[in-house]
Amino acid sequence: MHELSQLLLTLIVFLSLYLLGSSSLTGCVNILALQGMCLGILPLAIHERGFHSRTFVLAAGMFVLKGFVIPRVLLYAIREVKIRREINPLVGYTSSLLLGALLIGVSFIIAERLPVPAGLRTGLLIPVSLATMMMGMLMMISRIKALTQVIGYLVFENGIYLFGLSIAYEIPWLIELGVLLDVFVAVFVMGIVINHIARAFDSISTEKLTSLSD
Amino acid sequence: METLTSAVSFALLVLFAPHLMLGVIAKTKAAVAGRKGPPVLQTLYDVVKLLGKGAVYSTTTTWIFRLGPVVSLSAALAAAVLAPLGGPSLVAFEGDAVLFAYLFGLGRFVTVMAALDTGSSFEGMGASREVAFSSLAEPALILSFAGLAYRAGSLCLERMFSIHVGPSAVASTILALGSLFIVLLAENSRIPVDDPNTHLELTMIHEVMVLDHGGPDLAFILQGAGLKLVLMSSLLVRLVIGDLPFVGAAGAMALGLFLVAVAIGLVESSMARLRLVRVPQLLVAAICASAFGLILVLR
Amino acid sequence: MSLLLAAVATLGVSAVASFVFSRRAAWARTLVVGGLAVAAALGGLLASRALRGQGVPDLTGIWLVPGAVFHVGIDPLSACFLLLVLLVGGCAGVYGEGYIAASHGHVPAAPARFFFLLLVAAMALLVCSRNAVLFMVAWETMALSAFGLVSCEHDKPEVRKAGLLYLLCTHVGSLCLLALFAILGHNAGSLEFGAFAAAPTLPAALRAAAFLLALIGFGMKAGFMPLHIWLQEAHPAAPSHASAAMSGIMIEMGLYGLLRLLALSGPVPAGVALILVVAGLASALFGIMFAMVQRDLKRLLAYSSIENVGIILLGVGLGCHGLAAGSPSLALLGFSGAILHTINHGIFKSLLFLSAGAVYQAVGTRDIEACGGLQRGMPWTCGLTAIGAAAICGLPPLNGFTGEWLIYSWLLRPDAGSGMRFAAPAAAVLAIVGAFAVVAFSKSCGTACLGQPRSEAARAAQDPSWIMLAPMLLLAVLCVAIGVFPQPVLRAAFAAAGDVARVSGSGVGADFDQWSRLLAVVGLLGVGVWSMGALLWTWRNLLLRRRGVGHGPTWGCGFTAGTARMQYSGSSYPVPTARVFASLIGTREEVQAPVGYWPAQASFASRTPDPALELWLPVLVRRFNVWLSAPRRLQHGRLQISLLYMSVFLVAILLWKL
Amino acid sequence: MTIYLLLLGAPLVAGLIALLIDRDEIRPWFLPAACAIHSYAVVACWVRLPEPAVSGWFRIDAIALLVLTLASALFLVCSVYCLEYLRLRRGRDNRLFTACLAFILSAVSLVCVSRHMGLLWVGMEAATLAAAPLVHFNHNEKSIEATWKYLMMGSLGIGLALLGTFFLALAVLPYTGPGDPLMIDVLLARAGMLSVPWLKGAFIFLLVGYGTKMGLAPMHSWKPDTYGEAPGVAGAILAGVITSCAFLGVLRAFQICAAAGLADFARGLLVLMGLLSMAVAAAFIIGQRDFKRMLAYSSVEHMGILALGVGLGPAGSFAALLHLLNNGLTKGVLFLTAGNIHRAFGGKTMDHAHGALRRVPISATLFLLGFVAITGSPPFAPFISEFSILRSAVDGGRFGVAFGFVGLLAVIFIGMATTVLSVVYGTPNDQPQGPVQGDFPFMLMAPLALMSAVVFFGVWLPEGLTAVLGEAARLLNGVRP
């Protein structure tokens, strides 16, 4: 099981890196879906106390939600606004990959300073979750299409969820609630706004959204 | 008795001394020029004559114009009360020096206002020059007063203007004399600052301010101006003779005033009037002199 | 003390009531006049008690605000300023009624009345407050109501500009005072003035900081150079009765604050005293120099306020020097000179502002070049103006001389020579200032009131209504009365100085007797001047009665077609004086000399910009904007960049603090 | 229990009803009703603090009581304001607007009463989401942009706050005791045994997360856009209520740190962010032509003052909590009157709005007074709190901080005065456009009430309030129950 969790975590990091590097929106969504599935499986692998009914429910829920529901909504949105790929982002793909690598390093540095929480099978969880969050942030910063930013936010959310797994055993309800609420934000509210943007600006590129400034 | 005599002598002095001094000045200038010159008391005759005359007022003028001469003369008289003419001054108290200086200021203020009241460009010009030069004469006067006050350890004229023995007494006295003499020339509109008997209004300072005055007003003005001259010269004299016992003092003062008048006469007949832009330099020189005297005292 | 509360309450209530009944002009007028009269009566009673040495117990009330106690008390220092506030405030307020009525709606009545009464009330409370929070509340109420008065006629852009400038200055000053009281409170452990007095002396650094803060905070209000920038803008902008109150009493509040602080903090080092002296001299000299070259009547008066504040500050500095030198009599002399001059300045400056207001309403402009010959149409106003002008020049038979005489006698007293080398030069500067004052006011008065009318409006000008003349008359009478009989005011000033110098009543008494004896002689001589003048006047009239009096045109030296435009203009009048010192005040002249035998045209223009306002302030503002434009570029409305700041900050904090 | 039901339930029910009802003109009337019930409950709390409920998950302590009171008061007046405002905005469907206002009240009440960090976070999140439609109310391009920025940054901040909550959990784990480990009382009780690194991390993340909601620099950049585009009443709610609740989140985190002996670490961060925020506000207020954005920056400044005050120790915390109230009330005045002026001129920059005193005299006067008050002039309430903060800085020997504080206040005053005076004074340069002009009674009553409260607290601070403030400051600075 230990190896499995290690494997999954590494996979998650690499998927995030891949997201940073890829330009096609549909591709991004598919990667996100894959990452979501990994996250869904992870609870089963992460805890040494093994299975716990509630953990199982959580895992199933996440698997479905992050692996299927959200990607469907996003694909729908993409079809709505009819755009295919992210063109000339603020930070180029190669450089954002490099930055991503850098962020992984940073996250490991930060994680060094934090004691490994009790009952976790692997110390890899914390740094990976931090790295995932940071890469999500990086994606929100470096992309200009509203949808890509939402995807970046979802990656950030995945990171938080990942982190939450470390306390999933003691306070499971908290993660579930949090994650659900965040999904609500990420998909529905932002979806609505994106549609408004699309209607108002006939494009969802946030370059248009810079009129309010000093 | 003492007070009575002093009062009488004060009255005589106030009445006659100005005209005597002006007469002596005129005589000296005439003598230098090889003329006979007017009688010594000519100005007194003028005053008397003017007192008997009527007056013509410009339609522009108001009561301020009429008030000017009166107030300036009364201010001069008040100053005369403070001045140590001959013996002790009638009224003497700590700080009367400042009052003395400021009474002249009062006279100047009302004269200037009267001049402005006529609405004549010439008189306005004269007023403007008067205040300009006085604004440099004032500090010179105050500075020399300061030096003398520190030296004498008192701010009372009759103590300040007295013989002083001590280190650098002579030097400081001479410097004070010099600066006070310049101030005297400036304040009494004598050459080289101003020419009392020029006939070109453009060049006048004091005279042009009183162009419109006539009759008693002019008489008051002449009397006041002469009195001012006497008072400032008496200070100079006091600086040299100090306070002698009464009788001797009177004689010495008379002699001193005569000498000052001669000196003024000589200056006037030997020098030409300075260009107006040069006058401030002269007054600054006076300031420097008194400042230097001050430094000598404080050292 | 309940008298004070009653007075303040009366003012406050009548302020609100006059605002409520602003539609009913008659009611509002009675409210204002009545309120001011009652307040003056009550306050005067209280102040006279305090000055007669009858101890008035302090009044303390619980006030549920942290650090605050409603604590009012009165001592001679407060009493002097209280009297001044109520006197000048009362006169200006009564005058204001006439002014508002005559302005035909140019001056919005309701705010003008409301803020004026509020201003007076705040100042009355201010001088009696004994707790820092109460002091600050009164202080800020004063400042804000003055702001309300300044921006009464806010339709004019220059008024808006002046209001903004004033508000900025006064608030910066208030912040400095807050910091000052925070420091003092930190030292004393309480915000009670009594605690400040009892507290141990501050450590050197804090002491210096406190002194600097006080100088900026109070000086901003008093208008020392170079903190005066708001003054010459705000005073012309306000309605005249407001300018009179602001210039006559409000800026004095800054000096009161300074004196109160000295009374609480005890002797200051000699260096500080010297700083005060130098600052005072600089304000006096430059203030009057700039006054000299102004064309705007009220602006000229404002600058001369800067001058007088400088003289007062000089007196304060001399008093501090006396304290530092350990000579209570010197300290008393300096402080009493300052306080006496404060009172006198309050009187004649408000008189001059009120008459300036009358001229403004009669002629419709404040430009003296457009006036002239007002003496015919408005003899009362011009006569009173002349008295005020003579008084502000410090000429003998009037009150202006008394205060300056005290300061002179400090500077020229024999023992001042030793160890106080600044004394003699200071005296010289004071003399120059006096001479310049003569220039400035003979110019303003002479050009505006005398000569021939320079405009039709000036020709048609008439004296204002009695309700405006009566207060001016009262103030003028006071100028003369204090000039010839200064002892009562001197007694008050000495008592107040005793508070500042922390000298016991007996010690004050001895010095007071000495100086009052001398000033009595001065007053007697003043009487002599007046009576001698009267004598000569009657003699002259007798002489002229026998002879005829003719009338004719002014002697034009042969030129007979003189016109009003050929008079000596107010702008050219001070030029000979200003030229000598042009380098100091940076007068600029544009001359187009006449050329050829038949010169077609020639022109001469000279202007003297205010260095603080037109030279260094704009530079400062420009630098400031340059500094600030850098961060302003950071808010460019790009979401991504905002997120970037956030993330970078987060990571940085994590790496740094965790 | 009933109290909690009223606090949380009444607004919720009102919101749901508003969602269901179809009549635009009756809908708004449910708001004042709900707010009245809510305020009644709050008054009951002042009379006697209610017992803990739901096995200790709900409790109201002094700190919560202050925030709750502020929220209730602001909502009450704003609901009255809304009656007329929405009447003027007839034609725009106000279903979502009304409902969301009610939901926000319910959510912030949850934030105040919850004794569980997770529950508190949920409340915060709910409030954030419910506020989005308010910002979006005008449905123009600018408002969409504002909403987008608000949502993105808000969600990011809220995510970070969640992470901070997880950190807290990790700091307290492993925990085997009664109640949930994230209960504030549990955390305070075990403060000694918390794992320091995790706690530090938790504080940092909570500070940044909730600080984003407060609008502390450098997470403030959504604020000017949002406040600038939202209607005045929404601005009042956002600046007065939601920021205060976010500050409550920070306070809770600080409370735990202080109890755990990490007070100095936390205070350092708070002072840093406080001064930073004031500096940023100063830089952007100077030369600001848009008076609503100016108010937003002023809000940034005052959030900074709050953080600074708490960072200055017990005395400072007292002053900061007082300032929380004063700032909320004054901001209410300013935003509501700013809304009136905006509507009267059809523009919110100095170029459009000029000479408001002529067109909407009372609103303009209140706006001016509010400005004078918020910049800390006596006799208004903020003066007391700002002066106390200054004193606490000086008394603590933090002269550098005091100097910076005073200097920045001066700069900010200069900036604000320039804008406000040019808006208020002068003569309007154009003819009024739009059908509705002048002042309206209801829309004046609301700011008038708030202003009178500001003046009242400026001259008289009731003992009861002082006691609660003192209690709150005591709780805040490391006193364990």
Q: Give the C-alpha separation, B46 to B136, whole Å.
A: 32
Residue spans of alpha helices (H) in C374-504? 374-377, 379-392, 399-411, 423-449, 456-460, 466-484, 487-501
**By residue range, what is the domain housing residue C460?**
267-540
Quickly state the pLDDT bin for D481 (edges 50, 70, 90). Answer: very low
Contact D145 A209 (CB under 8 A): yes
Contact between residue C532 and residue C396 where contact means Cβ atoms under 8 Å apart: no
* The pLDDT of residue A166: 81
pLDDT tops 70 at residue D390: yes
Instruction: Name residue, tokens 């994106």.
Output: A194
Residues 6 or more apart whose Cβ sits within 8 Å of residue A101: A17
Q: Which residues of D touch C646 (CB under 8 A)?
A: 153, 156-157, 208, 212, 218-219
Least confident of B159-168, D4-13, D41-50, D179-188: B159-168
Q: What is the DSSP letter of B162?
A: S
Is the predicted pLDDT of residue A2 greater than 80, yes or no? no
- Going from N- to C-terminal start, the domains of chain D cover 2-476
Q: Which of B43-52, C136-145, D175-184 bottoms out in mean pLDDT, i.e. has the lowest?
A: D175-184
Structure token digits, residue C65: 């605000």
Q: Mutation test of the interface with chain D: which of C156, C170, C178, choosing the one with the most D Cβ atoms within 10 A?
A: C178
Helical (H) or strand (E) element with C61: strand C59-61
3-state secondary structure of C646: helix
Percentage of residues in chain B having pLDDT higher than 90: 49
Q: Does C635 touch chain A (CB under 8 A)?
A: yes
Average pLDDT for residues C74-79, to the nearest whole number? 92
As a whole number of angstroms, the distance between CA C361 and CA C104 comes to 10
Mean pLDDT in residue range D426-455: 79
Whole-angstrom distance, CA of residue C317 vs CA of residue C338? 9
> Quick check: D269 and C653 CB within 8 A?
yes
Nearest CA in chain B to C425: B143
Query: Is cis: bond before C239, omega within 30 of 0?
Result: no
Please tell me which residue of chain C has the smallest CA distance to B67: C537
Predicted pLDDT of residue B28: 93
Q: How far is CA B26 from the centre of its chain?
A: 16
Average pLDDT of the segment spanning C328-342: 93
Q: C touches D (3+ CB pairs < 8 Å)?
A: yes
Residue D41's pLDDT band (cuts 50, 70, 90) = very high
Q: What is the pLDDT of residue A83?
A: 72
Residues B88-106: b if buried by 16+ CB within 10 A, e if exposed:
ebebbbbbbbbbbbbbbbb
How confident is the model over C535-590, as pLDDT tens digits? 999 999 999 988 888 888 888 777 777 788 888 888 888 888 888 877 777 777 78
The answer, yes or no, to whether residue A5 has pLDDT greater than 90, is no
Q: Give the total number of structural domains in chain A.
A: 1
Q: Find chain C residues with C-beta within 8 A of D460's C-beta.
A: 63-65
pTM exceeds cut of 0.90 = yes
Q: What is the DSSP letter of C524?
A: H
Per-residue model confidence as pLDDT tens digits over D204-260: 999 999 999 999 988 998 999 999 889 989 999 999 999 999 999 999 999 999 999
What would you report as the CA-atom Rg of chain A, rounded to the nearest whole angstrom?
A: 17
First to last CA, chain B: 44
> Which of these ranges, B251-260, C179-188, C263-272, has the smallest mean pLDDT?
C263-272
DSSP letter for B273, please. Answer: P
Q: Which amino acid, residue C502?
A: R
- Residues B285, B108: Cα–Cα separation, whole Å: 22
As a whole number, mean pLDDT of residues B198-211 equals 80
Q: Which region, left, alpha or beta, applies to residue D346 given φ > 0 means left and ψ of -120 to 50 means alpha?
A: left
Asked if residue C126 belongs to a domain, the reply is no
Residue C578: inside a domain:
no
Separation in Å, CA D452 to CA B70, C118, D379, D464 = 64, 18, 12, 19
Q: C431 to chain B: which residues are within 8 Å by CB?
A: 101, 138-139, 141-143
pLDDT at D446 over 50: yes
Which candidate from C396, C539, C576 shows the least CB-CB separation from B132? C576
Better pLDDT: C530 or A1: C530
Average pLDDT, chain D: 89
Q: How far apart are CA C481 and CA C527, in angstroms?
A: 10
Closest CB to D425 among C64, C137, C154: C154
The whole-angstrom separation of Cα C132 and Cα C121 is 18
Bridge-partner residues for C549, per DSSP? B55
The domain containing residue A153 runs over which residues?
2-207
- State yes or no: pLDDT of D438 exceeds 80: no
Asked if residues A79 and A152 have their Cβ atoms less than 8 Å apart, the reply is no
Given a contact cutoff of 8 angstroms between Cβ atoms, the answer to whether C147 and C163 are in contact is yes
Specify whether the CB–CB gap between C568 and C554 falls below 8 A. Answer: no
Residue among C625, C637, C654 whose CB faces D204 most closely? C654
Residue A122 has pLDDT above 80, yes or no: no
Task: Please give the backbone phi and psi of residue C41, each rounded to the nearest 5 degrees, phi first.
Answer: -60, -50
Determine, for residues D460 and C64 on separate chains, whether the beta-carbon distance falls below 8 Å: yes
Cα end-to-end distance, chain D, whole Å: 21
Element (H, E) at A57: helix A53-64
Is the pLDDT assigned to residue D156 strictly greater than 60?
yes
Among D394, D412, D465, the residue to mutate for chain C (most C Cβ within 10 A):
D394
C603-607/C588-592 β-pairing: antiparallel
Taking the C-alpha atoms of residue B227 and residue C192, their distance in angstroms, rounded to an integer, is 60
Residue D372 neighbours by CB under 8 Å, 6+ apart: C144, D380
**pLDDT at residue C419, as a whole number:** 62
Could you tell me if D390 and D401 are in contact, meaning their C-beta atoms sit under 8 angstroms apart? no
Q: Which of A139-148, C24-33, C120-129 has the highest mean pLDDT?
A: C120-129
Residues of C in contact with B297 (CB under 8 A): 417
DSSP type of residue D191: G
In contact, D147 and A145? CB cutoff 8 Å: no
Q: Is the pLDDT of residue B138 over 70?
A: yes
Nearest to A185 among D129, D146, D149 (CB): D129
**pLDDT tens across C581-610, in order?**
777 777 777 888 888 888 888 887 777 777
Q: CB distance from D240 to chain A under 8 Å?
A: no
How much is the pLDDT for D139?
Answer: 82
Using a CB-CB cut-off of 8 Å, the residues of chain C touching D197 are 658
> Which residues fall within 8 angstroms of residue D189, CB to CB, at 6 or more apart?
D480, D481
Secondary structure of residue C552 in the 3-state scheme: strand
Q: Could you tell me if C53 and C117 are in contact, meaning their C-beta atoms sit under 8 angstroms apart? A: no
CA nearest C645 in A: which residue? A141
pLDDT digits (tens, 9 = 90+) for A168-203: 777 777 777 777 666 666 666 667 777 777 666 666
CA dihedral C145, C148, C149, C150 (to 10 degrees): 120
* CB–CB contact B149 C429 (8 Å): no
Interface chains of chain D (3 or more CB pairs under 8 Å):
A, C
Residues of chain C positioned with their CB less than 8 A from the CB of A144: 640
Other Cβ atoms less than 10 A from the Cβ of D433: the count is 11
Whether D435 shows a pLDDT value over 60: the answer reads: no
**Residue among C632, C636, C640 whose CB faces A141 most closely:** C640
CB atoms within 10 A of CB C425: 16
**Given CB atoms, is D189 within the 8 Å cutoff of chain A?**
no
Instruction: Tell how far CA C209 is from the center of its chain.
Output: 26
Q: What is the largest CA-CA distance in chain D?
A: 71
Provide mean pLDDT across the span D131-139.
Answer: 87
End-to-end Cα, chain C, rounded Å = 60
The answer to whether the Cβ–Cβ distance between A117 and D173 falls below 8 Å is yes
